[in-house]
Amino acid sequence: MNIVVCVKQVPDTAVERTLTAEGTLDRASLDNLINELDEYAIEEGLKIAEAQGGEVTILSMGPAKASESIRKALSMGAAKAVHVVDDGLATGVTARAALRAVRARGAARTVLAVPVAAPAAVLDLQKETDEVVTLVTPRRFHSVGEWYANFGQLTDADVLTLLAAIP
């Protein structure tokens, strides 16, 4: 049995938070950790895997810094991890590939949650998943980047460095 646990890295609420000049949460200055409920889900998944046989796979979607939480989940006993990095849905190609991979591994239910998405991508991906959740689905969608204050592009060297850091 392969138990897939979705994990989200969140800012530590026990520390003081600051805002950027634009009035948004300054995430760069914060320590991040696994969402408390996700930690419980990991623990329960590990208990089930131990009692019934199988393994736990961690699935996380987020920026490169989310790999810290993935490493913690692996240190808790998870056997594998999948880290999908996508800032939103323009075409949905990355999300579609991830959803199909998870379904192929036997996921009983999938939910895709993204911060911003093109309406056409949402309609298309509703065929691939049980539920699509978005914060913003603008009628006049041009690009994912227009919805971010800072949307710098990664170089090939950046990606290779991040991939090399994965345990």
Please report the sign of the dihedral spanned by the C-alpha atoms of residue 63, residue 67, residue 73, residue 77. positive
Question: Domain limits of the chain?
Answer: 1-85, 86-149
Query: What is the CA angle 61-63-65, rounded to 5?
Result: 115
Tens of pLDDT along the chain (167 residues) come to 888 888 888 877 777 777 777 777 676 667 778 888 889 999 999 999 999 999 999 888 777 778 888 889 999 999 988 887 666 778 888 888 888 888 888 877 888 878 888 999 999 999 998 888 888 888 888 887 777 776 666 667 777 777 777 76
Separation CA 136–CA 121 (nearest Å)? 12
Distance CA 93, CA 110 (A): 16
Report the alpha-carbon distance of residue 167 to residue 162 in Å, rounded. 10
* Cβ count near 100 (within 10 Å): 13
CATH number for the segment(s) 86-149: 3.40.50.2020
